[in-house]
Amino acid sequence: MEQQVFQAAKVVEDCLDAEIKRLDNLDADDIEELRRKRLQQLKSQAGKREEWIAKGHGKYDEIAEEKEFFEEAKNHERIVCHFYRDSTMRCKIVDKHLRILAAKHLEAKFLRINAEKAMFLCQRLRIKVIPTIALISDGKTKDFIVGFDDLGGVDDFPTEMLEWRLGVSEIIDYQGERPTLKGESNTGIFNFAKKKGKTIRGGGYDDDDEDDDDD
């Protein structure tokens, strides 16, 4: 084990030495090219932010009708859509976290829709448990966050837990580590099933009277 740790440290050290050597060998033209590329990158990022804001990103919006869902799917590359029910307490917990993340992650459009007013859509997406968060990428449902199982299985999970989970599905730009809950070991990673590439038209629905119970 000590030998493995030593070897890993040696690899990291060698990489750092190589990078330092590369930077030391840069001439004025190289530095100017790096500065130009970085400036171009910043301008591109600023342009993207302006575009997202113009399209309504940065807010957590309500969809009143099912047809709006399909319109939003056409107009936004990445969508986080919360299927909620007014009588379900856990939906209010999800709302709280998504409002925070909507303002922080402009790269995705954050939405909510009342599942009781979107029965056709729930059937097509096979949504059985409330709350469910559908993750849409390029008009296709890429993944689902069903209940709180992927978020630690507790009601008081931190916003960072949901942020991490959305980042795992690459629906937002986030690469941080999974937060550790109080009393949980660092290796306690919850499993979840990805449903990549499933189209919005996928079928089948099985009603669940206990859909606000995630256990």
Number of helices (H) and strands (E) in the chain: give both, helices first: 6, 6
Residues 19 and 72 in one domain: no
Would you call 149 exposed, middle or buried from its count of C-beta atoms within 10 A (0-12, 13-18, 19+)?
Answer: middle
Residues 10 and 71 in one domain: no
CATH of the domain at 128: 3.40.30.10
Report the alpha-carbon distance of residue 133 to residue 195 in Å, rounded: 13
Report the alpha-carbon distance of residue 144 to residue 81 in Å, rounded: 10
Residue 103: predicted pLDDT: 94
pLDDT tens-digit readout, 31-65: 777 777 777 766 666 677 788 888 889 999 999 99
Residue 208: predicted pLDDT: 38
Residues 127 and 26 in one domain: no
Residues 41 and 131 in one domain: no
pTM of the model: 0.69
Q: Indicate if the pLDDT at residue 6 is higher than 60.
A: no
Residues 140 and 187 in one domain: yes
117 in any annotated domain: yes
Report the alpha-carbon distance of residue 188 to residue 37 in Å, rounded: 41
Q: 64: which 2 tokens? A: 């009143």
The mean pLDDT of 97-105, rounded to a whole number, is: 96
Report the alpha-carbon distance of residue 109 to residue 50 in Å, rounded: 14
Residues 94 and 194 in one domain: yes
Q: Indicate if the pLDDT at residue 200 is higher than 60.
A: no
Residue 101: predicted pLDDT: 97
% pLDDT > 70, the chain? 76
Residues 34 and 72 in one domain: no
Higher-scoring residue by pLDDT: 183, 84: 84
Residues 32 and 95 in one domain: no
pLDDT tens-digit readout, 152-184: 999 999 999 999 999 999 999 998 889 988 776
* Domain ranges, residue 68: 57-199
Q: 86: which 2 tokens? A: 């007014």
214 in any annotated domain: no
**SS3 of 152-183:** CCCCCCCHHHHHHHHHHCCCCCCCCCCCCCCC
Residues 25 and 106 in one domain: no
Question: Which among 32, 49, 66 is the end of a domain?
Answer: 49
Would you call 203 exposed, middle or buried from its count of C-beta atoms within 10 A (0-12, 13-18, 19+)?
Answer: exposed
155 in any annotated domain: yes
- Look over the chain and give the mean of its residue pLDDT values, rounded to a whole number: 80
215 in any annotated domain: no
Residues 8 and 31 in one domain: yes
85 in any annotated domain: yes
71 in any annotated domain: yes
Residues 31 and 79 in one domain: no
67 in any annotated domain: yes
**Count of domains forming the chain:** 2
158 in any annotated domain: yes
